[in-house]
Amino acid sequence: MNTQLVQTLSQIIKTLTEEEQALLNELHSAQDSKRGNFYETATPAEWAKVFEEWADSHKHGTPLLSDEAISRESIYGERG
């Protein structure tokens, strides 16, 4: 990624007037509507990439439940 370009664009966006910001938002909305929704236009590879990014964004050290904790008896007690 070109960090210098990103920083320059960030500075430019911060200095936009309200009218210019509104025009930028309209342009962004128009581009989004042309692209369509992600679930309608994404390829299987894009789905996989987004899913893996989502999965990686979660904590990895969460302890697993024991067999007892997920047993039918512990979930339903005397009802099940």
**Each residue's pLDDT tens digit, 10-50:** 898 889 899 988 888 888 887 766 667 788 788 999 999 99
Res 1: pLDDT:
67
Where in the sequence is the domain holding 46, given as residue range(s)?
Answer: 3-79
Mean pLDDT, range 60-65, rounded to an integer? 89
Task: Give the helix/strand (H/E) hosting 12.
Answer: helix 3-14
Q: Are 43 and 51 in contact (CB under 8 A)?
A: no
In this predicted model, which residue has the larger pLDDT, 34 or 63? 63
Instruction: Specify the pLDDT at position 80.
Output: 56
The answer, yes or no, to whether residue 63 has pLDDT greater than 60, is yes
How many domains, the chain? Answer: 1
Chain centroid to Cα 43, Å, comes to 16
Residues in the chain: 80
